[in-house]
Structure 1
Amino acid sequence: MTTYRTLLIDDEELSREVLKTFLADWPQIRIVGECADGYAAVEQITALRPDFIFLDVQMPELDGFEVVRRVQPVFLPYIIFATAYDQYALKAFELKALDYLLKPFDRQRFGQALQRTLEQLALQRASDFNARIEALLETGLTDRPVRQPEYLTRLMIKESKRIFFLPVEEVQYIEADGNYLWIHAGNRRHLLNESISMLEQKLPPAQFIRINRSYIINQYAIQEMEPYFNGEYNVKLTNGAVLRWSRSYRDRLGQLAGWTP
């Protein structure tokens, strides 16, 4: 059985005990250390190099975000934030946290976060192995893994007092509205505080295509395309929306699966 190493970082002993109790149900996880303050966390992450960590936000000396900033240039494991404060969730995910557990959380919610982390770790190990094999075949070197770009697989949506995660494959199109975005999925839309240019860079280009200054579409949501005027197209999506593929973005037609000019 594949095992993974974790480090528990929280200034409250009771919180660390809860994590240890829940982790007892997961024999593939080995706890390699505990920290009660930010400075100790930086030292242990750097020395032990765990696969992932549980990290509190508010701690003595250094908070959780400062811990991340200090270890990032050297080694940054996957992160599950575990905290009693919901106002830091957006900042946490900007640091590419895998999950954000709000205390008090139950075994089910804990299990969801841990399962997601194990899936990412398994993908990373498989990717690293494949990269090493490719490097060996191409150059004869085994110590130069080629890492592929990491794209978003889900979007964090914050509405009222709740936060939920929307898989990107459920998104049909994205609409710019000033400094915000409307994420259209099915018959609903969700507001996201991000620029369209920044989000475009984070989405898998094999699936999402920007068709004009204000819209990004999921190409698998296209129902039909119709020539409009002067090299432009009307694009009809499965949810009934009709959007304009502008001439200035015509070079991106090549991203469409099966497209032949």
Structure 2
Amino acid sequence: MNTASHPTALIAEDEQLLAEHLRAELRQLWPELEIVAMASHGQAAVDAALAKQPQICFLDIRMPGMSGLEAARAMAEDWPDDRPFPLLVFVTAYDQYALQAFEQAAVDYVLKPLQRERLAQSCERLRQQLALRHREPAAAALSADTLSQLRQLLGTGQAAPAAAPAAPLRLLQVSVGTAIQMVPVGEVLYFEAADKYVRVITASKEHLIRISLRELLPQLDAQLFWQVHRGTVVRADAIERAVRDEAGKLSLQLRGCTDRLGVSRMYAHLFKAL
């Protein structure tokens, strides 16, 4: 497919009227642009992007379950190494202060309600970047800069932050039959997301707690627990070693545990010494 004349895009927006409005505006401003997928929530956006591999993704910031920023991170973690990573355009209603993070990163954004003039500017920027990629294929790679910018955007929150806990969580209350068992957080080797639950892995047992990893993460000591994948958080002092395979992918071996945990590209910077 010719990048210059047949670009492809995905639109992720949970409000159907807004999604159709964006598609209609793009059809007017950029007739050659083919919308290959429409997604109504973050996970659907990730699944469609990985399946269709569009050149551009328009991602709404606020979507059910997974935000547009989190969807971009998930895409980056699972994107094939040999395929160009999409150009990202975030659709947002945030004020100018919140938009500073977007200004500093090599991504574009459009504000709600959509303004045709601003969307036209975005389309022109995207055309230029696609043309650059066509001339210089290396520019399409999922670079360290792109990962750094996604981490930066995720770090800004882009939403009202939850109140910080007075102190990091020290004990977990775990249901065991009809009893409640107290599990010291310091004994946990790692946490793993399991839909609306979290698997809690210690050296001797595995528990399941009814909380999402997103809700649990702010309650943990960030110095002690490191997120190494969007679905995995590891106790840092339990890491015995980190190993790169021939493809350059990292995996962790923990003390007292035979499981090998993969480290996604988003978090490989935690192991710079390797």
Higher relative contact order (CA 8 A, sep 6+): 2
TM-score (norm 2): 0.45
Q: Which has the larger radius of gyration?
A: 1
